[in-house]
């Protein structure tokens, strides 16, 4: 079975002050706009992966302008291949049944 990788333009963001260990584990994280960091709901988006990381600087459109890779179906759609395949992806559970999951 061929291994697939996420598209190179996909990226993650931390919308909170990361500790030193998180910074060392980080791969590539765009700097979000200060207005997004100041949002009262900013913490619930920390660690989420978006196919279009430019959305983290789109103050007017965030979070709606982000194409989140937070579900199996979203990851598979981003891969573009509909054949059954093994996909390993880890992301925090931030919402369930349309409601945020508390930390």
Q: What is the pLDDT of residue 35?
A: 94
Q: What is the pLDDT along the chain (103 residues), one digit of tens a residue?
A: 455 555 666 665 555 555 655 554 555 567 889 999 999 998 888 888 888 888 988 999 999 999 998 888 888 788 776 666 676 767 677 777 778 877 6
Structural domain contains residue 37: yes
| pLDDT at position 94 | 75
In a domain, 95, yes or no: no
Which residue, among 7, 100, 4, 98, has the nearest Cα to 52 in the 3D structure? 7
Residue 1 has a pLDDT of 46
pTM attached to this predicted model: 0.51
Tell me which residue range forms the domain holding 46. Answer: 11-83
What angle (nearest 5°) sits at the alpha carbon of residue 20, between those of residues 18 and 24? 100
Is 70 contained in some domain? Answer: yes
Residue 50 lies in a domain: yes
Q: Three-state SS string across 60-84, please?
A: CCCCCCCCECCCHHHHHHHHCCCCC
Taking a C-beta distance cutoff of 8 angstroms, is the pair 78, 70 a contact?
no
Q: Is residue 69 situated within a structural domain?
A: yes
* Vertex 38: Cα angle to 48 and 94 (nearest 5): 25
Provide the domain count of the chain.
1
Residue 36 in any domain: the answer is yes
> Is 23 a domain residue?
yes
């Amino acid at each position: 079975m061929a291994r697939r990788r996420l598209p190179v333009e996909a990226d993650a963001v931390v919308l909170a002050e990361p500790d030193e260990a998180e910074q060392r584990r980080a791969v590539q994280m765009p700097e979000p706009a200060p207005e997004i960091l100041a949002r009262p709901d900013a913490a619930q988006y920390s660690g989420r992966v978006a196919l279009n990381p430019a959305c983290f600087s789109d103050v007017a459109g965030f979070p709606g302008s982000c194409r989140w890779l937070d579900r199996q179906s979203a990851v598979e759609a981003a891969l573009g291949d509909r054949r059954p395949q093994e996909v390993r992806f880890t992301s925090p559970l931030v919402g369930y049944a349309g409601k945020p999951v508390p930390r």
